[in-house]
Structure 1
């Protein structure tokens, strides 16, 4: 791959003259459909099980495998963005994603569909860090809030509308159209990027440490694999498929972090945690991702269970929250640029506390409109916290740490999402089991419905505790000072 460094450096020097809007459109278009694809299959699993004659535990690998690949690639993206230009990274990642999408659309067997899904994940795992790094290089700290608000629209709105679109498409067409409709937009994004996308970051080409890549893969991949496997068997947390990958992950991550602190050119620079606001932001985002992703799984289960809604109707019930989140993200970004993070993050986490408390009291008698209202308030609170907090934390880092900061945050967000789903589903299942132990006929429909209600209430009680912790962390958030440009 022949990269002209002098020409690239000229682009970096004159980046104030670069037209930012075409670059943003190129990035947002591609990333939107890549992230939309993460939840687009949620309602299609029943159809896929029937088509390929597979079990629920097998079809779940379409999600587990996706998260596993993304969890492995995001940390390595900090190295890749220093080896390849913005154009090479984005266009290459989009071509990989499009190839996987086409393979999924024509897959004759489940194995081919699974391979296509993994290829999709490889492209997706590289796209988001590229977009965030480009924003950090293009926009000065005082203007990043608005730009990151647009990123928030992509990150939150795309997965939020995925189940709704999936339900509507499955009702009128078949599961292959979930991939077919993405292909033309992916091709348009690639074409647009060829024409308008410019190189805005420095290509330094640091030394590649193979051992670090192996330890990173085992560490982050093992963590996602272990937590994602909790719900697949009856043994749960005591299953070797759960605790062995987690043990390997913890040992590998310990060795990985120790090695990164000793290397001159680490894959991930963990010294980013020396910045107090970055550390606080990371902890806050982990809680938000655990809460949001688990709620997006639990609410459809409850709506389709005790409330007996169809899959498409359950997806539509979550649509207003997704739309409000998308609309709120750019607004929150503008407010952040003008007033800083506290006016958004503190009320946002307080709103999260209130919503989680109200969710602890839901039952089969709770009207659907209450779920729509509560979910909408939850997504507004998420929009007020996620991107403003993330922007504030990254603003404290020197430019040399941008790739590492974005990679660390995206990696931990991906892992926390998997952990959150496993934890909340595990709490919900335990609550169900405990309820059924005390009834005379645990196989009756009423008992099963009440058990699910008890489990959901129990999981939201845990979410309420997390929300309180998030609110306490938000009280310590301060607007960051623009750092020096060199590493300390």
Structure 2
């Protein structure tokens, strides 16, 4: 049974959920700076190693659509503790993994737990906070969604430099155990349960759809865009996704209610969310690869470069929540993108001498922009939905974010790999006096720069979409209408 809203200790409940969510999101990107070391230790290519990130986000993307069903079927307490136990088990496997395959299996188990937590956190915020106070609460949620991925590489870098990558998971194992103990003591239920039937066919269709597209994109780096395997995976993935969407629209009680897209504001903010997530995850995979593989910086150097931006995230996210309550999402989104686009464009011409301080400064600009964007646009979209669609809106938002992050990771690594191969051939045929190692290094830098051109184009599309968002006055009218309907 759920607790009456006035009896729910919002602070304690939010604290436990935020802590669990922080650890789950932290897991997504904490291995990014370790990829070069893992590639060397397990003798795998960048295209293979990136599955530690892509696979994690893909499992998240597959499982998150199920969370709307799970939140109806099970209590807040049951869901949260179950997800943390999966995170606990996966972390243990990762800490002792003897091979890349076992490490990947552990990551996928972690992802199965992590996929449930973020939509659960958003649904709880929607349930216990009134519309006019959600900006501040969602600002704290933004602290998790933006700060955790930003601080993850820094923490990992410091740990790897001093110890080894295994200590990342040993430390995480202890933290997850603490959160499980706290959740048994402090967590209460805030929603009613019902006996809803799970739609197995929908799960199969979404798994094949997302899995096919991601596998096709990830394989293009090694096999090329013209490969029969790549094209068939992309085509079949798209087909299964279309069938999944059709089934959700025709079902009387869909697993993932896509009718949330009938709301114009929700649709626009979701598209912007997809684009911004692609920028964030694309940068988080590219920058460590460039710094370590192409420039020879240590893992700790990479971590310290990213630290100031991560700390600014921690400061800015709660502030952006308060600013949202006061000014609405549109002005914050536009200002955020004014920070983001120059920060991304500024690394489309990377060289062997691009300054460390310059890269740190542009990363700070990028993180400021992300802090102003992520939660305000998410909150603006969810606030316009009626209460009965809140869980579905949260599930849709988190699904598209995870899938967008996975697609961005696969795309930028693929673009970088294809571009690097092309430039390697060009430099080798040009009669250059460079050694083979120098050619490989130069080609890799060209590849990273061209991948950033793709990310810049994504940012330009995002700012165009932001222009179609409603202003504060119209946004407020939509929220009042939603409150009246609820």
Q: TM-score, normalised by structure 1?
A: 0.91
Comparing 381-390 with 412-421, which one deviates more in the overlay?
412-421
- Match for residue 15 of structure 1 among 5, 26, 31: 5
CA 1:50–1:457 in structure 2 vs 1: closer, same or farther (change >3 Å)? Answer: closer
Contact 1:400 1:485 in 2 (8 A): no
Against the structure 1 CA distance between its residues 183 and 467, is the aligned structure 2 distance closer, same or farther, given a 3 Å change threshold?
A: same
Q: 1:443 to 1:404 in 2, by over 3 A?
A: farther
**Equivalent of 2:204 in 211, 214, 220:** 214
Give the equivalent residue in structure 1 for 2:328: 340
Which of 173, 181, 191 is 2:163 aligned to? Answer: 173
Which of 399, 403, 417 pairs up with 1:411? 399
Please report how far the alpha carbon of residue 331 of structure 1 lies from its aligned counterpart in structure 2 after TM superposition. Answer: 0.6
State the match for 2:308 in structure 1.
Answer: 320
5+ residue gaps, structure 1, are 1-6
User: 1:215-257 CA deviation, whole Å, 9 max, x = no partner?
Assistant: 12212232233323333x2x23233443333222211111111
Structure 1 stretches of 4+ with a deviation exceeding 6 A read 485-488
Tell me whether 1:228 sits opposite 2:211 in the alignment.
no
Deviation at 1:22, TM superposition (A): 0.4
390, 404, 427: which one aligns with 2:415: 427
| 2:149 aligned residue (141, 155, 159) | 159
Instruction: For residue 313 of structure 1, report the CA deviation from its aligned partner.
Output: 0.5
Identify the match of residue 440 of structure 1 among 412, 431, 444: 431
Change in CA separation of 1:395 and 1:484 when aligned onto 2, cut-off 3 Å: closer
How many Å separate the matches in 2 of 1:444 and 1:19?
Answer: 63
Give the aligned partner of residue 56 of structure 2.
66
Instruction: State the distance in 2 between where 1:306 and 1:281 align.
Output: 36
Deviation at 1:53, TM superposition (A): 6.0
Instruction: Indicate how the Cα distance of structure 1 residues 448 and 122 shifts in structure 2: closer, same or farther if over 3 A, else same.
Output: same
Cα root mean square deviation, aligned:
2.3
The 8 Å contact of residues 55 and 406 in structure 2, kept in 1 or not, is answered as: no
Equivalent in 468, 475, 482 of residue 476 of structure 1: 468
Using the size of structure 2 for normalisation, the TM-score is 0.91
User: What's 2:245 paired with?
Assistant: 257
**Residue 303 of structure 1: aligned partner:** 291
SS of corresponding position for 2:362: helix
- The answer to whether structure 1 residue 453 and structure 2 residue 441 are counterparts is no
Specify the alignment match of 2:23 in structure 1.
33
Indicate conservation of the 8 Å contact 2:20/2:84, yes or no: yes
Answer with 304-313 or 173-182: which moved more: 304-313
Aligned to 1:131: 121
* Distance change (3 Å), C-alpha of 1:430 and 1:28: same
Q: Which residue in 1 is equivalent to 2:279?
A: 291
Matched residues, number: 476
Query: Is the CA contact (8 Å cut-off) linking 1:94 and 1:123 kept in structure 2?
Result: yes
Q: Which residue of 2 aligns with 1:188?
A: 178
